[in-house]
């Protein structure tokens, strides 16, 4: 018959599997308590770094409906249950493993899909949601700035265009045209010529 404390541990770990956005399975053989404490602090409050016996973790994974991780539960096992941003936690684990080679990243789970160690590494290489949102916001701000510059330039361009049109119209209206000469001037000129001829005779 299972002991009550083991049953409680299995139930707790099963809940962690269910409620986490991701999980990373590690082996911590040879790490000191001080190093494990440092790792827990680096992971922050959004990630629980749980050390447990492999038999209990396997049972908890099965209870939570998690598949594909059983082969990872060998040796001293600790699972990082991530409730926050998976990329950030994966980066912390990767960087800690580089500085402390005794920490071995064996694989993990993301959106119900089992990951091997290489896939966890690729996850750590991705940009976090915050960084992507920041880049998107920057791109949108740049676009809005360009639009504002164009809109601000429109009134002055319209004003210059209007001024040029007015100037052109003024020039066209002010220039005398041959076709605009009064028609009445021709008969008057003829009459003057006739009068001069009669006087001469």
Residues 118, 148, single domain; the answer is: no
Residues 87, 137, single domain; the answer is: no
pLDDT more than 90, % of the chain: 59
**Cα distance between the two ends of the chain:** 155
Q: Domain limits at 20?
A: 4-126
pTM value is 0.63
User: pLDDT tens digit string along 21-78?
Assistant: 999 999 999 999 999 999 999 999 999 999 999 999 999 999 999 999 999 999 999 9
Question: Could you write out the DSSP letters of every residue in 138-159?
Answer: HHHHHHHHHHHHHHHHHHHHHH
The model's confidence at residue 81, banded by pLDDT at 50, 70 and 90, is very high
Coil, strand or helix at 26: strand
3 vs 20: CA distance, rounded Å: 26
User: pLDDT tens digit string along 118-156?
Assistant: 999 999 999 755 544 554 566 566 666 666 676 666 677
Phi-psi region of 80 (alpha: psi -120 to 50; beta: other; left: phi over 0): beta
Task: Report yes or no: 56 and 10 within 8 Å, Cβ to Cβ.
Answer: yes
Residue 108: CB partners within 8 Å, gap ≥ 6?
Answer: 22, 23, 24, 25, 80, 90, 114, 115, 119, 120, 123
Residues 42, 116, single domain; the answer is: yes
Please report whether residue 148 resides in a domain. yes
Residues 22, 117, single domain; the answer is: yes
The pLDDT, as a whole number, for residue 196 is 44
Phi, psi of 149, rounded to the nearest 5 degrees: -65, -45
Q: Is the pLDDT of residue 185 over 90?
A: no
- If one counts the domains in the chain, the total is 2
The predicted model gives 154-179 an average pLDDT of 70
Which residue, 126, 161, 193, sits at the end of a domain? 126
109 vs 122: CA distance, rounded Å: 13
The predicted model gives 101-112 an average pLDDT of 95
The pLDDT, as a whole number, for residue 170 is 80
Residues 88, 147, single domain; the answer is: no
| Residue 114 token pair | 């089992």
């Amino acid at each position: 018959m299972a002991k009550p404390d083991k049953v409680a541990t299995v139930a707790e770990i099963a809940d962690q599997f269910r409620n986490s956005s991701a999980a990373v399975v590690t082996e911590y053989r040879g790490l000191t308590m001080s190093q494990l404490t440092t790792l827990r602090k680096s992971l922050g409050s959004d990630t629980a770094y749980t050390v447990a016996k492999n038999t209990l973790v396997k049972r908890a994974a099965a209870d939570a409906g998690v598949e594909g991780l059983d082969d990872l539960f060998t040796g001293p096992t600790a699972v990082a249950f991530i409730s926050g941003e998976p990329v950030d936690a994966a980066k912390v684990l990767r960087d800690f493993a580089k500085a402390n080679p005794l920490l071995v990243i064996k694989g993990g789970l993301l959106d119900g899909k089992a990951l091997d160690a290489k896939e966890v590494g690729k996850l750590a290489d991705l940009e976090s949601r915050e960084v992507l949102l920041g880049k998107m916001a920057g791109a949108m701000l740049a676009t809005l700035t360009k639009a504002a510059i164009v809109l601000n330039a429109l009134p002055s361009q319209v004003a210059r265009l209007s001024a040029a049109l007015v100037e052109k119209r003024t020039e066209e209206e002010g220039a005398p045209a041959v076709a605009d000469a009064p028609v009445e001037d021709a008969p008057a000129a003829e009459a003057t010529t006739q009068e001069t001829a009669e006087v001469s005779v």
